[in-house]
Amino acid sequence: MSGIIGIIGGMGPLATKDLFEKIILNTEAHCDQEHIQVFIDNNINIPDRTKAILQHGENPLPEMLKSGKRLEALGADVIIMPCNTAHYFFEELSGQLKTPMINMLEVAAKRAYEAGCRKVGILATDGTVQSGVYAKAMGKCCIDTVYPGAAGQKAVMDIIYNGIKTGKTDIDTAPFMAAISELQAKGAEALILGCTELPIAFEIYHIDGTKTIDPTLELAKAAIRYVDGKVK
């Protein structure tokens, strides 16, 4: 295996770990030496992306760029980042790096299209929802997007910020489940786990029984293929 994957991490650390684990678990390898070399910059200095987009918070781009350049210097052949909201800055970031980047939202949209979806529900942060980045990505594949109402969106933010990011395992998931039901009632054929904390939330809080698309998993598979690895 000759290719090297670079990960701009820290957004958040558990989501970074989840992506790395999915690269390992989805690579066809029979010994250590058949796995893919991965460089991770777990840059916890990157400011909150939602605050930057919606509340004029500190711009995360400079720190993201520092991470990207560090990974370039180490010899990464492709760079990926496990944060949906950070993809609001994707074009500006990738334009300042020499190393190619893979867009997580676009690979998720491709997967949704291949799965036969023509309308999906978006579970994501306020920043991701209000920036319209998923509507744009899905629109390229002729897929419509639907979103929770105010109460449902609050529940999504709660499970992300007051659940996974704080490490709580006993959060009340009833409001979040109501948000899922709302999206299904709006005709969503699948739910996009549009925040990299959400696949972790579904596992930790034992949320199942609904069709989902995990952008982190699709990003991991795309990165494996990019460096000529074999996906299980």
Look at residue 156 and tell me whether its pLDDT is greater than 80. Answer: yes
Q: What pLDDT shows up at residue 60? A: 97
Question: Average pLDDT of the chain?
Answer: 96
Q: Which tokens in the block code for residue 17? A: 């770990």
Look at residue 213 and tell me whether its pLDDT is greater than 70. Answer: yes
Give 208's pLDDT tier (boundaries 50, 70, 90): confident
What residue type is assigned to position 98 of the chain?
A: K
Q: What pLDDT shows up at residue 210? A: 87
Instruction: Give the residue from 149, 207, 206 showing the smallest Cα distance to 179.
Output: 149
**Domain range annotation of the chain:** 4-103+217-226, 105-215
Look at residue 196 and tell me whether its pLDDT is greater than 80. Answer: yes
pLDDT tens, residue by residue, 99-123 = 999 999 999 999 999 999 999 999 9
Q: What pLDDT shows up at residue 192? A: 98
The residue-averaged pLDDT of 122-127 equals: 96
Q: What pLDDT shows up at residue 209? A: 80
Neighbours of 170 (CB within 10 A): 7
Q: What pLDDT shows up at residue 139? A: 97
Look at residue 153 and tell me whether its pLDDT is greater than 80. Answer: yes
Give 204's pLDDT tier (boundaries 50, 70, 90): very high
> What percentage of residues in the chain have a pLDDT greater than 70?
100
Q: What pLDDT shows up at residue 7? A: 98
Q: What is the full DSSP assignment across 102-156?
A: --HHHHHHHHHHHTT-SEEEEE--HHHHHHTHHHHHHHTTT-EEE---HHHHHHH
Give 55's pLDDT tier (boundaries 50, 70, 90): very high
Q: What pLDDT shows up at residue 14? A: 92
Q: What pLDDT shows up at residue 202? A: 95
Verify whether residue 195 is a known catalytic residue.
Answer: yes
Order of strands across the sheet that contains 4-9: 37-42, 4-9, 78-80
Q: What pLDDT shows up at residue 31? A: 95
Give 84's pLDDT tier (boundaries 50, 70, 90): very high
Q: What pLDDT shows up at residue 118? A: 97
Assign a CATH topology to domain 4-103+217-226.
Rossmann fold (3.40.50)
Q: Longest C-alpha distance within the chain, in Å?
A: 49
Do 105-215 and 4-103+217-226 have the same topology in CATH? yes
Verify whether residue 83 is a known catalytic residue.
Answer: yes
Q: What pLDDT shows up at residue 131? A: 93
* Catalytically annotated residue among 31, 117, 142, 195: 195
Q: What pLDDT shows up at residue 52? A: 96
pLDDT tens, residue by residue, 59-71 = 999 999 999 999 9
CA pair distance 156, 224, nearest whole angstrom: 30
* Domain range 105-215, its CATH number among 3.40.640.10, 3.40.50.300, 2.70.150.10, 3.40.50.1860: 3.40.50.1860
Alpha carbon separation from 105 to 2, 130, 137, 140, 207 (Å, rounded): 26, 15, 6, 11, 22
CB 67 within 8 A of CB 42: no
Which residues, in sequence order, are bridge partners of residue 119? 144
Global model pTM greater than 0.85: yes
Q: Which tokens in the block code for residue 158? A: 């709660």
Look at residue 1 and tell me whether its pLDDT is greater than 80. Answer: no
CA pair distance 53, 72, nearest whole angstrom: 26
Stretch (H or E) spanning 52: helix 49-54
* Catalytically annotated residue among 31, 83, 117, 142: 83
Alpha carbon separation from 16 to 20, 56, 116, 185, 192 (Å, rounded): 6, 25, 29, 32, 18
CB 80 within 8 A of CB 6: yes
